[in-house]
A and B are shown apart, each in its own frame.
Chain A
Amino acid sequence: MTLIRKPLSRRSILRAGAAGGALLATPTIFTSRAWSQGYLNEPTGSTVTLGFNVPQTGPYADEGADELRAYELAVEHLNGEGDGGMMSTFSSKALKGNGILGKKVEYVTGDTQTKSDAARASAKSMIEKDGAIMITGGSSSGVAVAVQALCQEAGVIFMAGLTHSNDTTGKDRRANGFRHFFNSYMSGAALAPVLKNAYGDDRKAYHLTADYNWGYTTEQAVRESTEAMGWETVETVKTPLAATDFSAYITPVLQSDADVLVLNHYGGNMVNSLTNAVQFGLRDRVVNGRDFAIVVPLYSRLMAKGAGENVKGIFGSTNWHWSLQDEGSKAFVRSFGQKYGFPPSQAAHTCYVQALLYADACERAGTFNPCGVVEALEGFEFDGLGNGKTLYRAEDHQCFKDVLVVKGKENPSSEFDLLEIVEVTPVEQVTYAPDHPQFAGGALGTCNSGA
């Protein structure tokens, strides 16, 4: 019997190496991080990571860019750099400018692409890979609702960015999600009295509505509040979201006996539909002996810029405007302007405020634990963040504050000075019961800390 002795081959060396490596690794192998922590992504080092999930491409990229600027500014202020912005006017004094709970604030960014799937993928990678303890941002309700559900499931806090649909804090509300921005119902409730004063209480309204969730809730909100004061809704027509030419939808308006056109459109949709409406001479039209009027429920400065001349004299509502003269707004506009050279949009404002509110809630709760933060934010009353006295309602995690009714300015002095504030509708007028029919069907559930 002969033993064939093979020469040492590359393969056998590799095999021995791998076995040896596995053997060496064994002692450290059973140290799972999951066991040591009380909640998901608990920051253990000297820093804490926040996830800024904003649209960087797609139809709302402009808003997203402005949101990101606001977040960067907020991080600066939280870490004690810059002039502190609204931290000095904020009624809660828990923030000291040394990060959050003494930990330096770091952040990761992601692109939602204004698609639920992409937004969730980006948020997931922030949670799973970068260890983000809070996700914030977004410029569409679809994305907000999707990411909010994800954060609830994973066990981190979600601070919504720009999202106006009732559903975010209505039927799709979640315990881990919070919204500072106002909603469709509030737009309707704030606009109705102003419209009544301006145009009377016996108008006939024609609605053009973007054919998706936000469009539906806005149409419903505006229709219900205008009908309550005596207006009649002649017709509501849904327009495809991808439409760029609305002439085919404007012509029937001319043939109807409507004397008000409500454009439940946002972003590029609104810019195009308003431009078409003006081109068709709707503004110079006289029906039933009265001037024809156009209303845009949700206004933003970026939209006003897009529509240019056409916005003059047209009513709408907005969450915040940089021309507000309270101390908080002035401080914010000043530090934003110093850093970037132009005034912030309402998207930037709501995102900046959300970041501050989150940090403040952590400080007051004394922990990053999502359940502690939820408790600190629920029923929290504050002031000095640009919207006057504000309440984070515990029942649905919606902020209640004054709503601005604005009008396209007749003589704009600069490319940013396009809207003028007509009325600040007090918070009592836009408050509703948590189980209001427009918000029914949802439940917060209980907070999830991912433990």
Chain B
Amino acid sequence: MLGLNKKDSSLFLLVLLLVIFAPFLLNPFPENSELAQFNAGYPDLMQRFLIFGIFAIGFNILFGLTGYLSFGHAAFLGVGSYAGVWMMKLLTMNVLPAIIISVIFAGLFSLLVGYISLRRSGIYFSILTLAFAQMSFSLAYSVLTPITAGETGLQLALDDPRILGVSQVDGTIPLAHFFGLNMRESYELAMGGWLFTFNAGYYLCAVIMMIAFYVAIRIFRSPFGMMLRAVKSNQQRMNFTGLNSRPYTLAAFVISGMYAGLAGGLMVAMDPLAGAERMQWTASGEVVLMTILGGAGTLIGPVLGAGFIKYLENIFSKINDNILYEWFSALPTAVADVLVFVIHPFIGKGWHLTLGIMFMLIVIFLPGGIMEGFQRIGKMFSRKKKTATGPSGAAPAPAE
């Protein structure tokens, strides 16, 4: 299908189905139950899953294939965001030009950064990219305040020119739209106790994410992807055979920078604001975490890692002691107190701690990330299949 082999086609279809039915899958608990706390099927978080999924897929093209660990990818996301907001301020509230310009600007910026940074490899490369990202952050936060609005973040205003659109409608800023389809538009579906939200913005992200994912698969399977893998396994030997590897690494760097820009543009399309913190080194570190957590070098791993981190960040950080007490209300007060005391450090503001522990466990026991976990489970089942007697259905094979 679409020039993909059978295995990749089925992976692509699986991801497509997951993305289409995410509003159902992420809202497994009825609206009024205690467990509704763990529902993640609201538009903002679902959009974030996809956007950071794109970001991580792009990062993985560089890190997973060439092994070059960029510690400054957030800078490209930030540049894309700023470009996108400016497009919305100056041109139109249609998100398409904003997204396109984000990709272009991030691509140009990554060309510049990549051209300089790729003269070194290993730790020196990482440090150079980190330096560039921190530089961009500092510039955006203070020196470039007229362009970036500094600390408060670049936002839309009532008096923006918007040449191809309108500045304001009855004293409000027009909403971001895709040829008239409002990005905040949601269709809510009530089924029994469940409430599912289908958001226009989410499905726009979904379409773009699927395209990005498809392109990533093609890159992974192409001769170009093979060259990048060669860079990862032994760049020196590659150079000795007379191949100049720089153009390949630079191309990979720019492509992954453009993916980051695309993610930045989409963030702006969903929520028209660009803040400098988007470029901070913690943001760059986050995408590294996502990729490693999910499984570097695998196709779908980084997306899972992105979803995992964003879920923890948005769901765990909102559980507070009151909610815990509600859960344990059936227990005697003393027991509930002890339980709350034990759990307290891991929830609310302690979500970083939970993430840290999970990260350590995964890196120690599953060095290949979440994907390795799936593979092991898959193997377990396939072994059972051999010993089982009689016909059995096909065990779900791990995709990558």
CB within 8 Å of B: which residues of A? 9-11, 25, 28-29, 31-34, 56-57, 61, 108-111, 115-118, 120-122, 124-125, 128-129, 140-142, 145-146, 149-150, 152-154, 165, 167, 171-172, 175, 211-214, 216, 238, 240-241, 441-446, 448
Contacts and interface: CB of A to CB of B under 8 A. Distances in A.
A448 B42 CA distance: 21
B123 to A, nearest CB: 23
B125 interface: no
Contact of B277 (A10, A115, A211, A444): A115
B317 A117 contact: no
A124 to B, nearest CB: 4
Given A121-B314, A129-B42, A145-B152, A34 B275 contact: no
A32 B191 contact: no
Given A116-B153, A124-B44, A28 B192 contact: yes
15 contacts: A31-B189, A108-B318, A109-B348, A111-B317, A121-B44, A121-B313, A125-B45, A129-B42, A140-B151, A145-B152, A145-B155, A150-B271, A212-B142, A240-B138, A444-B171
A85 to B, nearest CB: 19
Interface in B107-150: 138, 141-142, 145, 149-150
A390 B314 CA distance: 37
B191 A116 contact: no
Contact of B318 (A110, A149, A214): A110
A213 B152 contact: yes
A117 B348 CA distance: 17
A171 B275 CA distance: 17
B275 A115 contact: yes
Contact of A146 (B48, B159, B173, B275): B275
Interface residues of B, number: 52
A129 to B, nearest CB: 4
A29 B275 contact: no
A115 B286 CA distance: 15
Given A125-B314, A448-B172, A116 B138 contact: no
A79 to B, nearest CB: 13
A128 B141 contact: no
Residue of A111, A442, A446 contacting most chain B CB atoms (<10 Å) = A111
Nearest to A68: B320
Contacts of A140: 151
Given A153-B175, A445-B168, A124 B271 contact: yes
B318 A445 contact: no
Interface string B309-320: 000011001101
Given A125-B44, A213-B151, A240-B142, A61 B170 contact: no
A333 B172 CA distance: 40
Contacts of B272: 153
Nearest to A165: B152
B348 A120 contact: no
Given A120-B271, A145-B152, 10 more contacts: A31-B189, A33-B188, A117-B278, A121-B45, A146-B152, A146-B275, A153-B184, A172-B155, A172-B157, A212-B150
Contact of B171 (A125, A171, A175): A175
Contacts of A146: 152-153, 155, 273, 275
Interface in B321-363: 348-349, 351-352
A119 B168 CA distance: 26
Interface string B73-99: 000000000000000000000000000
Interface in B196-237: 197
Contacts of A212: 141-142, 150-151
A124 B191 CA distance: 23
B190 A214 contact: no
B393 interface: yes
A117 B270 CA distance: 12
A240 B137 CA distance: 12
A152 B155 CA distance: 12
A189 to B, nearest CB: 22
Contacts of B43: 128
Nearest to B48: A121
B35 interface: no
Contacts of A56: 317, 348-349
Contacts of A110: 317-318
B317 A445 contact: no
A141 B153 CA distance: 10
A167 B158 CA distance: 15
Given A120-B273, A128-B42, A443-B158, A153 B173 contact: yes
A241 B141 contact: yes
B188 A34 contact: yes
Given A111-B317, A117-B277, A120-B271, A29 B189 contact: yes
B349 A142 contact: no
B349 A57 contact: yes
Nearest to A450: B184
B152 A141 contact: yes
B10 interface: no
Nearest to B155: A149
Contacts of A240: 138, 142
A191 to B, nearest CB: 23
Contacts of B187: 32, 34
Contacts of B171: 175, 443-446
B151 A142 contact: yes
Contacts of A448: 172
Contacts of B244: none
B203 to A, nearest CB: 16
